[in-house]
Amino acid sequence: MAVVERIAATRAVTRKRKNRLDRGEGRTAFFFLLPSLIGVTLFLVVPIIASVVLSFTNWKLLGQPQFVGFANYIKLFTADPQFWPVVRNTLFFTFEYLVLNIIISLGLAVWISSLKMGQRWFRVIFFLPTFTPGIAVAIVWMLIFAPGGFFDFVTGSLAIHLPNLLTDQKLAMQAVIIVSLWAGVGYNTVLFNAALDMVPASYMEAARIDGASAWDRFWKIRLPLISPTLFFGTVMTAITSLQVFDQIYVMTRGGPGSATATLGYSIFQKGFQNFQMGYASSIAWVMFAMIMALTAFQFWLQRKWVHYDN
Partner 1 sequence: MANVTITDVVKNYGHLEVLHGVSASVADGEFVVLVGPSGCGKSTLLRMIAGLESISDGDIEIGDRVVNDLEPKERDIAMVFQSYALYPHMTVRANMAFSLKLARRSKDEIEQMVNRAAEILDLSTLLDRYPRQLSGGQRQRVAMGRAIVRNPQVFLFDEPLSNLDAKLRVQMRGEIKALHQRLGATMIYVTHDQMEAMTMGDRIVVMRAGVIEQIGTPLEIYDTPANSFVASFIGSPSVNLIDGVVQTQNNQLVLQADDGAIWPLPSNVNVKAGTPVQLGIRPEHIYLDPAGLPAEAFMIEPTGADTHVQLRVGKQLLIGVFRDRPDIALNATFHVRPDVSRAHVFDRVSGKRIGA
Partner 2 sequence: MTTKTKAKANARRTLALDILNHGALALVALLFLFPFFWMVSNAVRSNAEVLAIPVRILPAVFEWDNFAKAWTTLPFGRFFLNSVIISVSVTVITVLVSCLSGYAFARLKFPGRDKLLMAYLATLMVPGIMLIIPLFLIVNKLGMINTFQGVILPVAFGTFGSFLLRQFFLSIPLELEEAARIDGASRLRILISIIIPLSMPAIGLLSLFTFIAQWNNFLWPLIVMTGADNATLPVGLTLFQTQQTTAWNYIMAGATLSMIPGVILAVVLQKLIYNSISLNAGMGGR
- Interacting residues with partner 1 (CB under 8 A): 11, 14-15, 17-22, 24
Output 118 or 257, the one with its CB closest to partner 2: 118
Total Cβ atoms within 10 A of residue 272: 12
Burial environment of residue 141 by CB neighbours within 10 A (0 to 12, 13 to 18, 19 or more): buried
Instruction: Work out how close the CB of 88 gets to partner 2 at its nearest, in angstroms, rounded to a whole number.
Output: 19
Residues 13-42 that bind partner 2 (CB under 8 A): 22, 25-26, 28-30, 32-33, 35-40, 42
Options 81-89, 90-98, 121-129, 164-172: segment touching partner 2 (CB under 8 A) = 121-129
Q: What are the distances in angstroms from CA 9 to CA 14, 23, 90, 102, 270? A: 9, 22, 71, 71, 69
Stretch that binds partner 2, among 158-166, 201-209, 213-221, 241-249 (CB under 8 A): 241-249
CB of 14 to partner 2, least distance (A): 21
Nearer to partner 2, 118 or 163 (CB): 118
Stretch that binds partner 2, among 71-79, 84-92, 94-102, 133-141 (CB under 8 A): 133-141
Q: Which residues pair with 62 in a beta bridge?
A: 60
| 239 belongs to the binding site for partner 2 (CB under 8 A) | yes
Between 6 and 18, CB nearer to partner 1? 18
Residue 134 contacts which entry, partner 1, partner 2, none (Cβ below 5-8 A, type-dependent): partner 2
- Cα 48 to Cα 52, 61, 222, 289: the distances in Å are 7, 18, 42, 14
Residue 300: its H or E element: helix 277-305
Which residue from 110, 123, 112, 309 is spatially nearest to 228, judged by alpha carbons?
Answer: 309
Q: Please state, in angstroms and rounded to a whole number, the distance separating the CA atoms of residues 111 and 104.
A: 10
Residue (21 or 158) nearer to partner 1, CB: 21
**Separation of CA 197 from chain center:** 25
Residues 252-281 that bind partner 2 (CB under 8 A): 264, 267-268, 271-272, 277, 280-281
Q: Residue 26: name its binding partner from partner 2, partner 1, none (Cβ under 5 to 8 Å by kind).
A: partner 2
Q: Exactly one of 81, 148, 200, 211 binds partner 2 (CB under 8 A); which one? A: 148
**Please, which of residues 54-93 interact with partner 2 by CB under 8 A?**
54
**Residue 5 CB, nearest approach to partner 1 (Å):** 18
43 is a contact residue toward partner 2 (CB under 8 A): yes
Residue partners of 291: CB distance under 8 A and separation at least 6: 238, 239, 242, 243
Asked if 123 and 189 count as a contact pair (C-beta separation under 8 A), the reply is yes
Q: Crossing angle, helix 223-241 and helix 277-305, to 10 degrees?
A: 170
- The one-letter amino acid code at 138 reads A
Which of partner 1, partner 2, none lies near 19, with the C-beta cut-off 5 to 8 A by kind? partner 1
